[in-house]
Structure 1
Amino acid sequence: MMARKSRIILHGKQAANQELRDAVAAVREDGHQIEVRVTWEAGDAGLFAAQAAKEGVDTVIAGGGDGTVNEVLNGLVQVEGGSSALGVIPLGTANDFARSAGIPLQLEGALRVAVETEPVAVDVGRSGDRAFMNVATGGFGTEVTVNTNPKLKRLLGGAAYFITGLGRFSELEPVPIRLRGPDLDWEGKLLVLAVGNARQAGGGHVLCPDAVLDDGLLDIGVLPDVPEDQQSEAISALMTHGMQAVKDAALYWRVPWVEIEAPKGIYVNLDGEPTHATHHRFEVEPRRLKLHLPESTSLLTSSEHGSK
């Protein structure tokens, strides 16, 4: 059987990463065809991914953080009739998607998942003209992500989000919104919103603990407003242990689409792309893309997955 052709779309800051260079060399020695394209400026990852899809590259591998994964995803899905699968090498601060999917953080292991497993068809979330693979967030967690200092992220990794959050409790303000979808009509004030195709965001916060990538649904998680003297405790518990830590107060739905109306506007972080608006619509495109995942992943309902 002819070897698959793979292309890594690598974040420019990782061009000199010796561990990655060693991983590529080792996997090439096993006979795998791997090319590398390095980004230079904003938008390159999406452009390179779309170009690869048009050229018929079998697997396009996002080498970077969650933002790079999102850019490559959007480049792939914009190509009508494209058949390229997505792989992930986690090189970012939080690597939320890779962690929730069980993709190895060790770079050769992640690369081997991308080139040695059979890709599986997975859902893709969409908001307007933007696709997302992981979790869109709104409310306090999004404010933290948007305002976390990049230098602090480089020094402390995912812990930077937690430290920033601790320092912003005094700015906590519940957001009035209305959610509408199939069998869903809820109105109230919230502290945290999550729209999940996958499970975690913001540096390891598991906001949609039961989400899977192949059920044709989005998982909606909401932490509604709580009495003011309980707000900091609730947010701290969520940031430390995820939505499960506040499950008695949290609300949860599974829907193919949801519309969010926020009279005062709400920040929504879409896999690293923050936007502010009074209206957001999210929907799922079932089985829109093929993705390379480890056999041990918990993000699939299907058992038809394994190595080639």
Structure 2
Amino acid sequence: MTPPRWCLILNGKSAGDDAVRNAVDVMRGRDVVLDVRVTWEAGDADRYVAEAIGRGTDGVIAAGGDGTLSEVAAALAHRDKAADALPALGLLPLGTANDFATAAGIPVEALAALELVHGQAARPIDLLRLQANGATHWAANLASGGFGTQVTVETHDGLKKLLGGLAYLVTGMARLGRIEPIDARMRGPGFEWRGGFIALGVGNGRQAGGGQALCPEAVIDDGLLDVTIVPELSGEIGSTLATLLKDGRHVALDQVAVRARLPWLEIEADAPLVLNLDGEPVESNRFHIECVPGRVRMHLPADSPLLAPLA
């Protein structure tokens, strides 16, 4: 039997991680052919995925945070191949918040994450595709706007290293006194909304920004986006956001949020606004976001909350 061949695409920030090195050695000892490639600059992940496809690699594993996962997923998604003709996708979580991994139930221990890839068959999953300013962006997890986006963008890398996911909480609390709602118009099939919002989530996945569960019911294989809009709340913004940050996020959101489940969503604004796409800020007056069903295959726990139950 031919041993499986993987390509581990490792975020350069974690190149010296001993746990990753040991996990790679263990899997190689189990007859997995495992190539390791380290990203250094923009475009590396795409180049490594192209090399992996050319070698007939069975799977590519994103070793990093949500941004690394989306970068590798995008490198697969824009190929002119069907999902079953592409290498399957895996994730070894090494980020600050690991929002996708947390929601999906992927182990954070390096060896356990690689054993999941080895032992669990890949299933088709959807990806989020965003178009703005004539460019196309892909993401595995979530696009967010408003308060949560500013928290993520403004959180300093040094604070992330020191505090991990708590860094987003610290930054968020510091922003509570200077939150400005964003005016926008949104529409999708059978859905229209306009007004000022303080938080927006368009989810393939469920959470972003270090645990903000903006789309708590989202699954990644239903062909739909979960949209959550938190409208401007005059006189209650500070207390609402403090509760959102402190007490489980979606509990507060359920009381005030506008929700929809749509195959696509268009967002328009008179002034440019920023959406955070798994760590990548994209600024525009107009966005078209769609769910692309079954675009890649991914190794996930069989009982992952992000997967719809098998019929």
- TM-score, scaled to structure 2: 0.94
1:86-105 deviations in whole A, cap 9, x for unaligned?
10000110111111110001
2:284 is matched with 277
Amino acid at match of 1:199: R
Greater mean deviation of Cα atoms: 240-249 or 121-130: 240-249
Amino acid at match of 2:255: D
User: For 1:80 and 1:222, how far apart are their aligned partners in 2?
Assistant: 34
1:237 paired to 2:240: no
1:262-304 deviations in whole A, cap 9, x for unaligned?
1122110001100111111100111111001012311111437
1:119 is matched with 122
Q: Percent identity?
A: 43
Greater mean deviation of Cα atoms: 104-113 or 39-48: 39-48
In the alignment, structure 2 segments of 5+ residues that lack a partner are: none
1:90 paired to 2:93: yes
User: For 2:149 and 2:236, how far apart are their aligned partners in 1?
Assistant: 20
Cα drift, residue 246 of structure 1: 2.5
Residue correspondence of structure 1 range 1-308 to structure 2 within 5 A: 1-81=1-81, 82-128=85-131, 129-227=136-234, 229-240=235-246, 241-303=248-310
Amino acid at match of 2:152: T
SS in structure 2 of the partner of residue 166 of structure 1: helix
Q: How well do the aligned residues superpose, as a CA RMSD in angstroms?
A: 1.3
SS in structure 2 of the partner of residue 176 of structure 1: strand
User: For 1:50 and 1:179, how far apart are their aligned partners in 2?
Assistant: 36
Give the conservation status (yes or no) of the 8 Å contact 2:214–2:253: no
SS in structure 1 of the partner of residue 185 of structure 2: strand
User: What stretches of structure 1 move > 3 A for 4+ residues in a row?
Assistant: none
Give the conservation status (yes or no) of the 8 Å contact 1:53–1:79: no
Amino acid at match of 1:238: L
Give the conservation status (yes or no) of the 8 Å contact 1:9–1:36: yes
User: For 1:178 and 1:83, how far apart are their aligned partners in 2?
Assistant: 37
Greater mean deviation of Cα atoms: 211-220 or 75-84: 75-84
User: For 1:5 and 1:88, how far apart are their aligned partners in 2?
Assistant: 15
User: For 1:158 and 1:74, how far apart are their aligned partners in 2?
Assistant: 25
Cα drift, residue 55 of structure 1: 3.0
Amino acid at match of 2:75: G
1:54-93 deviations in whole A, cap 9, x for unaligned?
4321110001111111111111112211411110000110
1:93-142 deviations in whole A, cap 9, x for unaligned?
01111111100011111111122210000111100211111010000110
SS in structure 2 of the partner of residue 248 of structure 1: helix
Amino acid at match of 1:261: E
How many residues align? The count is: 303
User: For 1:54 and 1:139, how far apart are their aligned partners in 2?
Assistant: 41
User: For 2:270 and 2:175, how far apart are their aligned partners in 1?
Assistant: 23
Give the conservation status (yes or no) of the 8 Å contact 1:209–1:244: no
Cα drift, residue 248 of structure 1: 1.7
SS in structure 1 of the partner of residue 8 of structure 2: strand
User: For 1:239 and 1:42, how far apart are their aligned partners in 2?
Assistant: 32
In the alignment, structure 1 segments of 5+ residues that lack a partner are: none
User: For 1:53 and 1:245, how far apart are their aligned partners in 2?
Assistant: 45
